[in-house]
Amino acid sequence: MIFIVRFFKGKDEDMLTGCAIIIEQAIVHKAFLISKRSAWDDPFFGGIKTTIDDAFQNILGIDNAKERRQATQTLRVIQRNALKDLAELKVQIKVDFESNKVRLKEILTQLGYSSYHLKSQQKDQEALVSLLYTFKQNMTPALIAEITAAGTDDPIITSISAYAEVLKNANITQETFKGGAKEITQDGVIALNAIYKQVIGIAKIAYKFYYDDKAVRSEFSYSTTIKKLNYQPKTAPPLPLPS
């Protein structure tokens, strides 16, 4: 029996999610892309999107692919804004409590900075989720009063706490990052390889089309997209999120 090898590294779900994100970006920019390559005219990208959704359901056995992908997109937006606010708050706390090292350490530990901030800055999405939930749970009125009295304005604290609520409403939990449990057949692997190969080809061409636009170009980088999905394996399981 010939064993079919995957063309891609990492989880099947990560690959499909990454490909779906790239195709969604292609749809956003399709007017320009089609002007450069008419073969991509409708319904080209829409057809690939349908193929990917079908693969989630029929190959991986995941029925809520669209919802999970939307949750991932929500997290990506939050990631940019939250990391900025978290860094701004942290530096203010460090400066304001510099004369009391013990209390400074206590606050950073209580809010989740000590456990999760470094990994969050390295684009570890699970760490960011854990940090935001820990922050929201442990940012008590008393601690808010202490931090604001030391010099930090309240709005940034409110903003960071709100990110955790958005995550909760979007149903982003640790389950978002788990692959399907369905056993993949050899035919399934062949189909996944075909999707990967097609989307990678689109990404390579689109990447060159946007040579002078670094921001848009990065949207068609498969490796960048996968890194944002936290492809790197964990050395230890994440701590459970507060309910």
> Could you list the pLDDT tens digit for every one of the 243 residues in the chain?
567 899 998 889 889 989 999 999 999 999 999 999 999 999 999 999 999 989 988 898 876 666 666 666 677 777 888 899 999 999 999 999 999 999 999 999 999 999 999 998 887 777 888 899 999 999 999 999 999 999 999 999 999 999 887 776 655 544 444 544 467 889 999 999 999 999 999 999 999 999 999 889 999 999 988 887 654 434 333 444 444
pTM: 0.56
Tokens of 104: 């400074």
Which residues contact residue 74 at a Cβ distance below 8 angstroms, ignoring those fewer than 6 apart? 166, 167, 170, 172
Label each residue of 136-167 as H, E or C.
HHHCCHHHHHHHHHHCCCHHHHHHHHHHHHHH
Task: Determine contact, residues 24/49, Cβ cutoff 8 Å.
Answer: yes
Query: Is 48 strand, coil or helix?
Result: helix
